[in-house]
Amino acid sequence: MHDPAAPNPPEDTPSPPAGVMLAGYFVQPYGYATKRRNGTRDWLLTLTLAGMGQYRTAAGPTAHAFNCRAGDVVMLAPGAYHEYGTATEDEPWRFYWTHFTPRTYWLRWLRLPELAPNIHFQHLSSAYAQERIQAAFDRWLSDQHSHALSHWREELAANALEEILIVLAHQRARDAERPLDERVDAAL
């Protein structure tokens, strides 16, 4: 996204309608870019599986850019300015995504570490956590297209999303229990 030769993101990428739980899996080559100056009306969560994505959190001097790699979860709160796209030509960016409006009791699970206002980031240091979240996304995506389960599709999506959020909350709590090595803490 910082490469002047790279395609510029559109002025404003449309957002999905608020109140709908959507999920997907993307494999995006270099040149893929999204920009939402006013954010979305819902939450956006991504899990990177491979390749590298790049996010920018604001325009101008307050901009904060960061890359995400395999195992990185990014969560954007409603209204958060954001741009994101595939960071390099080396490998496509492979990631799961979901747009959602949280149920009230989910709010306590949305407290990932904040990189910038309304921009949350967590690396999944546990292979188990990453596998569990991937499995929840896979079930969700399968259920979205199942005719046999069409009547229960929304509740199954909520179940999968709850599992994702609970695993993230558990990982965050485990990370908080382990103090950082003094050298790492000093470097940060």
Report, at the CATH architecture level, how domain 22-179 is classified.
Sandwich (2.60)
Would you give per-residue pLDDT tens digits along the chain (188 residues)?
444 444 455 577 766 666 678 999 999 999 999 999 999 999 999 999 999 999 998 777 778 899 999 999 999 999 999 999 999 999 999 999 999 999 999 999 998 999 888 999 999 999 999 999 999 999 999 988 877 777 788 899 999 999 999 999 999 988 887 655 454 444 43
Output the pLDDT for position 166. Answer: 96
**CA 113, CA 187: separation in Å to the nearest integer?**
18
Q: What angle do CA 33, 40, 49 make, to 5 degrees?
A: 50
Output the pLDDT for position 33. Answer: 94
- Is the Cβ–Cβ distance between 31 and 86 less than 8 Å? yes
φ, ψ of residue 26 in degrees (nearest 5): -120, 145
Strand segments, DSSP code E, in the chain are: 22-28, 33-36, 43-50, 53-56, 65-68, 72-76, 82-86, 93-100, 114-116, 119-123
Output the pLDDT for position 53. Answer: 97
pTM: 0.84
- Show the tokens assigned to 144: 């979205």
**CA 70, CA 48: separation in Å to the nearest integer?**
5
Distance between alpha carbon 55 and the CA centroid of its chain, in Å?
10
Q: Give residue 163's identity as a one-letter amino acid code.
A: E
Give residue for tokens 């490469």.
3
Q: Give residue 7's identity as a one-letter amino acid code.
A: P
Report CA dihedral (147, 149, 152, 155) to the nearest 10 degrees: -100
Q: For residue 59, what are the contacts with CB-CB under 8 A and spacing of at least 6?
A: 37, 81
- Is the Cβ–Cβ distance between 16 and 100 less than 8 Å? no
